């Protein structure tokens, strides 16, 4: 099993490339998504009682005062660019008490606040290009040193750069440096200005073109080129670019006169990371029992009738109040996968969500009770947001293992 980088999709076919390649790879890996499993999820108490509330928890409301709408777009764009680090969830919790997304949000907030107080505009293309690993570590509030025994002096330890958090700091700084360099070379003062330019091309309905915007982002910025070859088969996910486009829709689309052309993201592929596929396995939608690529044993405890009955039921009431030590305990690390295995599961999640929405759309309204007819109208982004947010919303879901892949800037 190998993983490398394919050619970019044909121009005008980026959205289709994501959907088609993910469906093909899921089937090749023999990961099944059965209609009865979809129905079981859609009409479960867990889904019906939480979907409307939880799917609105997008995490994109910022307690910041932006000097302009372009400034907010730039902030949102950099947050999306850096929306990775899931593989470092456990060591981040150990050092900061927060997970990957919360750390990246806090880091981007700090970039904004330091720029607003005259300490250098780290959100500009120039600031991104010149930010150092030391600055990233300081702003992130982490230690990038590990201790090892001295070679010759017993009982003496020596501190040196290293460890998983140092790897993450290098990934963040390299991503910012490279993107800042590209923006400067192309004449853009910041990433938001480039994104605003990408949004200008309109589709036939007069809205910004999802297809054209996605293509421009991916072609220009390597950190958005979330794709691989798995055994010679191309797979395209483009998680961060799709997330950014939908984030623009959320933040600016509700305005009667939005400052930028707003794309229709209702049919956009989901923003696949490690949470979506892991949760879909635990909720019985992705069936790995016959999967190839050594994936059948990745989540050995998932899918039993007893576990599904609990997970698909109404959220349990807390049995006791967590102690302070319990609250600070880091999450348990999940199975560590290869890059190819991770792409397979992420692709399976993209296709599973397509199949879930297709199933919902095809239901006969006449057979549905009035209080569940809304299920027919769920969209892909809303389903994505529900899966991502409900993984944090329920205490029993928070304990579910998520697969781990480090050394990636894509999720």
Starting at the earlier edge strand, list the strands of the sheet with 3-4: 3-4, 227-230, 233-236
State the pLDDT at residue 119: 57
Q: What is the pLDDT of residue 23?
A: 98
pLDDT confidence of residue 209:
94
Categorize the per-residue pLDDT at 206 as very low, low, confident or very high, splitting at 50, 70 and 90. Answer: confident
pLDDT-based confidence at 149, cuts 50/70/90? confident
Q: Is the pLDDT of residue 319 over 80?
A: no
Between residues 286 and 303, which one has the greater pLDDT?
Answer: 286
Cα–Cα distance for residue pair 116/249, rounded to 1 Å? 25
The stretch 172-190 carries a mean pLDDT of: 98
CB 97 within 8 A of CB 86: no
Under the banding of pLDDT at 50, 70 and 90, the label for residue 118 is: low
pLDDT band at 2 (very low <50, low <70, confident <90, very high): low
Q: What is the DSSP string of 279-314?
A: HHHHTTSSB-TT-TTTTTTSSTTTT-HHHHHHHTSP
pLDDT for 301 equals 87
User: Do 237 and 274 form a contact (C-beta atoms < 8 A)?
Assistant: no
Predicted local distance difference test score (pLDDT) of residue 321 = 41
Alpha helices in 29-99 (DSSP H): 35-42, 45-54, 69-81, 89-96
Looking at the chain, the whole-number percentage of residues with pLDDT higher than 70 is 94
**What is the longest distance spanned by two Cα atoms in the chain?**
79
- The pLDDT, as a whole number, for residue 326 is 46
**Residue 370 in this model has a pLDDT that exceeds 60:** yes
pLDDT tens-digit map of 41-84: 999 999 999 999 999 877 788 999 999 999 999 999 999 999 99
Report the C-alpha gap between 16 and 214 in whole angstroms.
Answer: 11
Mean pLDDT for the chain?
A: 92
Residue 120 has a pLDDT of 66
The pLDDT-based confidence of 114 (bands split at 50, 70, 90) is confident
The band of 371, judged by pLDDT with boundaries at 50, 70 and 90, is very high
The secondary structure of residue 319, as a DSSP letter, is: S
- pLDDT band with cut points at 50, 70 and 90 for residue 202: confident
The pTM (predicted TM-score) of the whole model is 0.92
Q: What is d(CA 290, CA 309) in angstroms, rounded to the nearest whole number? A: 22
Cα separation values, 359 from 25, 38, 271, 376, Å? 20, 8, 20, 8
Region of residue 336 (phi > 0: left; psi between -120 and 50: alpha; otherwise: beta)? beta
pLDDT value at 327 more than 60: no
What backbone torsions phi and psi does residue 233 show, to the nearest 5 degrees?
-100, 125
Dihedral pair phi/psi, residue 364, rounded to 5° = -80, 115
Tokens read off for 74: 């730039």
């Amino acid at each position: 099993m190998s993983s490398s980088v394919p050619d970019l999709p044909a121009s005008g076919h980026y959205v289709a490339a994501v959907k088609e390649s993910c469906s093909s790879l899921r089937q090749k890996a023999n990961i099944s998504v059965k209609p009865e499993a979809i129905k079981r999820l859609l009409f479960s108490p867990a889904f019906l009682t939480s979907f409307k509330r939880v799917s609105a928890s997008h995490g994109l409301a910022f307690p910041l005062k932006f000097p302009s709408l372009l400034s907010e777009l730039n902030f949102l764009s950099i947050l999306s660019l850096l929306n990775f680090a899931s593989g470092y969830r456990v060591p981040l919790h150990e050092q900061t008490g927060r997970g990957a997304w919360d750390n990246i949000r806090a880091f981007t907030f700090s970039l904004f606040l330091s720029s607003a107080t005259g300490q250098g505009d780290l959100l500009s293309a120039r600031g991104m290009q010149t930010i150092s690993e030391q600055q990233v570590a300081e702003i992130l509030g982490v230690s990038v040193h590990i201790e090892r025994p001295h070679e010759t002096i017993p009982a003496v330890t020596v501190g040196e750069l290293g460890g998983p958090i140092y790897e993450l700091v290098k990934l963040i700084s390299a991503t910012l440096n490279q993107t800042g360099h590209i923006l400067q070379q192309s004449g853009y003062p910041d990433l938001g200005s480039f994104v605003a330019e990408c949004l200008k091309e309109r589709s036939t309905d007069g809205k910004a073109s999802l297809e054209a915007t996605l293509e421009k982002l991916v072609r220009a910025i390597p950190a958005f080129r979330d794709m691989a070859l798995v055994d010679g088969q191309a797979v395209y996910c483009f998680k961060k670019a799709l997330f950014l486009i939908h984030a623009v829709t959320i933040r600016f689309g509700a305005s009667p006169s939005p400052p930028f052309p707003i794309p229709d993201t209702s049919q956009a592929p989901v923003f696949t990371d490690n949470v979506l596929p892991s949760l879909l396995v635990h909720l019985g939608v992705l069936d790995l029992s016959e999967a190839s690529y050594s994936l059948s044993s990745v989540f050995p405890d998932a899918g039993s009738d007893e576990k599904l009955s609990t997970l698909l039921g109404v959220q349990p009431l807390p049995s006791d109040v967590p102690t302070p030590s319990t609250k600070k305990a880091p999450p348990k690390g999940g199975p560590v996968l290869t890059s190819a295995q991770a792409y397979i599961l992420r692709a399976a999640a993209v296709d599973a969500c397509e199949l879930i929405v297709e199933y919902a759309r095809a239901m006969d309204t006449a057979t549905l009770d009035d209080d569940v007819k809304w299920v027919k109208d769920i969209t892909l982004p809303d389903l994505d947001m529900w899966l991502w947010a409900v993984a944090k919303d329920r205490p029993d879901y928070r304990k579910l293992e998520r697969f781990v892949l480090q050394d990636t800037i894509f999720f």
